[in-house]
Structure 1
Amino acid sequence: MENNVIKNVLSVAILAFVLGGCASVPMESTKVSNEAKQFSEPPAGKAGLYIYRDSFVGKALKKDVWLDGECVGETAPDTFFYKIVDGNTTHTVSTESEFSPNDVSLKTDTGKNYFIRQYIKLGLFVGGAGVEVIDEDKGKEAVSKLGLAKSGKCSN
């Protein structure tokens, strides 16, 4: 009987941790967020880069994102960043993971918008993260449901 009580308490504690509080980060105003979600053509010589996180897994985690080695910010569930970058250039987006950063490189063309999805994956000790390039239609659909996070603060 005592073992069942311990198992039940442990199960409830694990469930509370997994489904518990969501991480949060500083957010831009709704107006600024909605402007970014217009998916306008970037300025001459530039490309637009949307980096977003929409996964259900890891709601309690914040994860850093870097663009070409510079801090973009910390992600939380249902957030995105929008960055204007040089067109006709290869850029690297990185995110922290359990043991090392995960990267994706992307060659941007002038005048186009690109979408990078950050996803959370289960790790040995803590949740890790990965990044992947997403096609424009899927990216627009996902970002349109998210809020714009403020840039510039990474934990590492």
Structure 2
Amino acid sequence: MKIFTAAALVTALLLTGCASVDMASKEDSAKAKAFATPTAGNAGLYIYRNSLVGKALKKDIFVDGQCVGESGPDVFFRTEVAGGKVHKLDTESEFSANSIDLMTEAGKNYFVRQYIKVGVFVGGAGLEQMTEEEGKADVLKLDMAKSGHCAGKP
């Protein structure tokens, strides 16, 4: 009976509550939502989270081993990476990091969605590349979080 109660509590926490992260200014968020062409030789990278589950969870995001930030519900990050190469994106998950490789082309913007999935003890996270059309539509509904703070390592 205790196991059932604990499992119900964990499930309730995953589906309710709200984790908060430090947010960028409204001006910075609006500027990022203009989807400007990245600086010469670079690609723009938008990583966002709009999952319905796991609102109480914060999950770290890394690009090439460098902290992008700690995500919360309904936020996005914008950064630039070198064009013409493959970049490794990692997100914190339940037992180990989940990763994807993303080949970028200079001058383009890329969109990666972080999603929360149910885990054994706590929710995990995954990453998936989205089309530019889907990504822009999703990011327009979100607010930008401050970059640079992660709780762990990739």
Match of residue 99 from structure 2: 103
Match of residue 73 from structure 2: 77
Residues 146 and 109 of structure 1, relative CA distance in 2, 3 Å threshold? same
Structure 1 position 127 matched with structure 2 position 126: no
Query: How many residues were matched structurally?
Result: 150
Cα displacement (A) at 1:43: 1.1
Match of residue 149 from structure 2: 153
- Identical-residue share of aligned pairs (%): 56
Cα displacement (A) at 1:44: 1.1
Q: What is the DSSP-based 3-state SS (H/G/I as helix, E as strand, rest coil) of the residue aligned with 2:134?
A: helix
Tell me which of 29, 33, 43 is aligned to 2:39: 43
The AA in structure 1 aligned to 2:150 is C
What is the root-mean-square deviation of aligned Cα atoms in Å? 2.1
Match of residue 3 from structure 1: none
TM-score, structure 1 as length reference:
0.89
Q: Deviations over 1:103-140 (max 9, x none)?
A: 01011001000001000000011000000110100000
Q: What is the DSSP-based 3-state SS (H/G/I as helix, E as strand, rest coil) of the residue aligned with 1:142?
A: helix
CA distance in 1: counterparts of 2:106 and 2:140, whole angstroms: 22
CA distance in 2: counterparts of 1:130 and 1:15, whole angstroms: 18
Structure 1 position 31 matched with structure 2 position 27: yes
- Any unmatched runs of 5+ in structure 2? none
The 8 Å contact of residues 10 and 122 in structure 2, kept in 1 or not, is answered as: no
The AA in structure 2 aligned to 1:20 is T
Matches of residues 12-27 of structure 1 in structure 2 within 5 Å? 17-27=13-23
TM-score, structure 2 as length reference:
0.90
Cα displacement (A) at 1:89: 1.1
CA distance in 1: counterparts of 2:57 and 2:11, whole angstroms: 15
